[in-house]
Every structure is written in structure tokens, then in C-alpha cells.
Amino acid sequence: MSKALTRAVVIAAVAVALAALLNPSPERHRDKIREATGERSQVARVLGLGSLKAFASSYHSLGVASYTTAGEKTLSVGAFGLVFVRD
């Protein structure tokens, strides 16, 4: 194996290992959903709709990434320690 290929394999292995270690937890997803819902609407914040939405979500892990759903809708996606809430 050439030096460049060996280096690429090592970098890829390190990236996959980091992704697996930094995969966001269910609670981290739920915190972000609560926060994002409250930021989008003051009424939703007062009524606690973010907490309700977060409670109703289902967490799914892919090992190196994760996502939450409520019914058929994807609420959030996460990888490398970051969580993004979908509109």
C-alpha cells in the first residue's frame, strides 16, 4: 500500500471513530428541539410546546449519526456532536 493510501485510510478511520464517539444523545436532541421551538414562537415557549414535541420524539441512532422523528416527520439530525433542528 502506498503512503498516501495508508494516510487516507487512517484519516477515514479516525473520522469514523470521532463520529461514533461524538454522536449526540437522545437528551441532546430533545434539548435542541425545546430550544428551537421556543426561539421560533413566544406562544410555543409559554405553552411548553417544545417540551411536548421533544417528549413525543423518537430517537434513532445510525452509529455515526442520529435523528429524531415524530410520526413520519424528521425533527432533528445530529452528527459529530452537533444537532440541527429541521423547520
Backbone torsions φ then ψ of 72, nearest 5 degrees: -95, -5
Domain that holds residue 77: 3-85
Average pLDDT, the chain: 93
- pLDDT by residue (tens digit) across 53-79? 999 999 999 999 999 999 999 999 999
Query: What does pTM read for this prediction?
Result: 0.84
Average pLDDT over residues 8-28: 96
- Cβ neighbourhood burial of 68 (10 Å; 0-12, 13-18, 19+): buried
Q: Assign 35 a pLDDT band (cuts: 50, 70, 90).
A: very high
Tell me if residue 23 falls in helix, strand or coil: coil
Neighbours of 36 (CB within 10 A): 20
Total domains present in the chain: 1
